[in-house]
Structure 1
């Protein structure tokens, strides 16, 4: 039977959307005649990203609970009820064979209603510290696909399968020629390259750090490939030069990874999984403004295996230069970090997740 119907939900951030699209693509490869429906939050980026990937999406009127008492919070119960009713109708009309949730607000109402209707559910948790939505849905899920060890703190042990996170594999063919990569960005072959990644929108604290340390990098004969994010490009483009390349967004991540000798990055789950495949020394600067401080937990999971260095935002002024100099001054440390982070890569994650989904179709 090839005309299966799959309903998928996850969103709010790229970290939840990308895995859902990757899972859908792999299911479509195996079942070309299957039907797919995504469910997201009405005003979030999935409403744009999912159709770009070629899938239909339905938006629910839902948002997260704000931490403080606001009008939005007073609306929250109504949004939940409205979303649950809409989700129930969607499940009734679409009649999915399996529901797949990758975290984020909208997946809550949808998967809860799918579970009620007796549809088998698979959850995918990207972070080492489980999100609220997935924790609430875990008891009635058939399978929970995770990327880190120790997730039985959050989920029933017998439901957990360690698969890793779906990654954009096209990005990380890092066997690419380093000379070609340096040439593409107009960088020199006789200097080591620091790649700075703050996420697609950018990270203010990382940008402030890099601006402050440009002289320090120059003294160490380094060049910088600096993705400052579209929100900050206007403020930082004045630093663009022969040895500092400032970009709002890197379109060729594969070449950026190939050019890099060392990487400074946020610690979102998707970035961490990608950097494991890249296998180069990384200094993580986790975003402190993320729900449940996921990024710090993600980075710690690597630090505990000697696979990366982590600096918190409030440690940067005091600790950055020392840590960075130690890393650049020691080939052995660079090698150890690169080797250990590579051990944590799980390149077949998407296929493993879909194998678990297939078991529920039998």
Structure 2
């Protein structure tokens, strides 16, 4: 029989796109494999996963709302309901393994699989593991991590440091700068800045750009502005009549955006950094200030220390971000140095390594699997 694997998790592009990369690597190594995604109903994975060509089942689950405690009243009921839904999915699909990529929808899926003795695998993209992954890691068959030093979160004998999987559409992209510029209807003769706040947008970055929008045109720059949904309407209104600005809430074909960009403005989540290393662009990072343990600042500072990126604090973005970008646009030597240094950090085979380990594990006889799970 064909092997069957469930991939669970989502919520943001930082979880969804690595999951899709892992799925692609699994299919490449074993084209007969059957893959089913499980995500949270109403979240972006329910749209993005089918667009990538995979089936997905939605479960009724939600995360803890820190800003409004009253909204958490229904959480226990949703969690209980999600476990019933997951058990139905597991009985129906009968997976040989379950892979968790983070996001609250991964918890009931992996926990239920572990209770049934199904091999489970975790990919932790950040240098600070999430609470769900820490709990799940105690019984996981194997844990794939992006950085060293993760023994403080997971059993050391089950950890593999592999980096973060980058979408094949980006790793294998042959899109030229001219094709990228043409895709957005811009001018190939002008330097182009790409601003991306991640799949959900970035308030600090958007407000900084909005406050200094005329600075791009005055300095001969054009802007590809991915805003996220909350800021999309305001950005469209501000950009009206500016031929040097393309704006939208989401860019589905990021390979064109990266190809078009001469300079990138970005948050510094683990997956964003992994992609930016692969595409080798000069980047001004604006870390999300409320990330757990402020890990986005640590991520960005690590690149700054290697002269592979620039950092502007979110609290200072309105005053400093656009000026930093303008200064960088006028110094091509600086741009070249940043491109060279960030490119040295690229990892392009993380998905292949994860897929290979999963396929090796599920090919083992049951006794060997049990020993590996207890390792």
Cα RMSD between the aligned structures? Answer: 2.7
1: CA distance between counterparts of 2:184 and 2:41?
38
**Worse overlay, 29-38 or 259-268:** 29-38
Match of 1:348 in 2: 349
Q: CA deviation at 1:38?
A: 2.5
Distance in 2, matches of 1:335 and 1:157, equals 39
Alpha-carbon offset, residue 207 of structure 1: 2.0
Do the aligned partners of residues 65 and 307 (structure 1) sit closer, same or farther apart at CA in structure 2, a change above 3 Å counting? same
Superposed CA offset, 1:274-301 (max 9, x none): 1111101101112335555453343334
Q: Could you tell me how far 1:312 is from its partner in structure 2?
A: 1.8
Match of 1:324 in 2: 325
Structure 1, unpaired ranges of 5+: none
Number of residue pairs the alignment of both structures matches: 361
C-alpha distance in structure 2 between counterparts of 1:182 and 1:69, whole Å:
42
Partner of 2:162: 163
User: In the alignment, which residue of structure 2 is the partner of 1:207?
Assistant: 206
SS of 2:265's partner is: strand
Matched position secondary structure for 2:7? strand
Q: Aligned equivalents of 2:188 and 2:248: distance in 1?
A: 20
1:227, CA displacement in angstroms?
2.5
2:138 partner SS: helix
CA contact (8 A) 1:135 1:155 kept: yes
Residues 15-164 of structure 1 aligned to structure 2 (within 5 Å):
15-67=14-66, 70-164=69-163
Q: Quote the Cα distance in structure 2 between the aligned partners of 1:50 and 1:187.
A: 29
Report if the CA contact (8 A) 1:105-1:133 is conserved.
yes
Q: Report the Cα offset of residue 170 of structure 1.
A: 1.9
1:309 CA displacement = 1.3
Q: Cα–Cα, structure 1 residues 149 and 342, in superposed 2: closer, same or farther, change >3 Å? A: farther
**In the alignment, which residue of structure 1 is the partner of 2:246?**
245
| Structure 1 range deviating more: 345-354 or 321-330 | 321-330
For 1:103 and 1:224, how far apart are their aligned partners in 2?
32
* Secondary structure of the structure 1 residue equivalent to 2:289: coil
Cα deviation code 1:250-309 (max 9, x no counterpart): 354323222222111122333221111110110111233555545334333433432211
Instruction: Tell whether the 8 Å contact from 1:131 to 1:292 is kept in structure 2 after alignment.
Output: no
- In the TM superposition, 1:190-339 aligns within 5 A as 190-237=189-236, 238-239=238-239, 240-290=241-291, 293-320=294-321, 323-339=324-340
- Divergent runs of 4+, >6 A: none
**Cα pair 1:266 1:287 within 8 Å, conserved:** yes
* CA separation of 1:337 and 1:97: change in aligned 2, threshold 3 A: same
In structure 2, stretches of 5+ residues that fail to align are 365-375
Q: Is the 8 A contact 1:3 1:31 kept in 2?
A: no
Separation (CA, whole Å) in 2 of partners of 1:104 and 1:142: 19
Does the 8 Å contact 1:194/1:264 carry over to 2? yes
Alpha-carbon distance between aligned partners in 2 of 1:110 and 1:138, rounded to the nearest angstrom: 13
1:20 is displaced (CA, Å) by 2.1
Distance in 2 of aligned mates of 1:296 and 1:50: 29
The structure-2 alpha-carbon separation of the partners of 1:340 and 1:59, relative to structure 1 and needing over 3 Å to count, comes to same
Q: CA deviation at 1:25?
A: 2.9
User: 1:96 Cα shift?
Assistant: 2.1
CA distance in 1, matches of 2:185, 2:58: 43
Q: How far, CA to CA, are the matches of 1:327 and 1:212 in structure 2?
A: 19
TM-score by length of 2: 0.85
Deviates more, 1:269-278 or 1:211-220: 211-220
Secondary structure at the aligned position of 2:212 is classed as: helix
Deviation at 1:328, TM superposition (A): 3.5
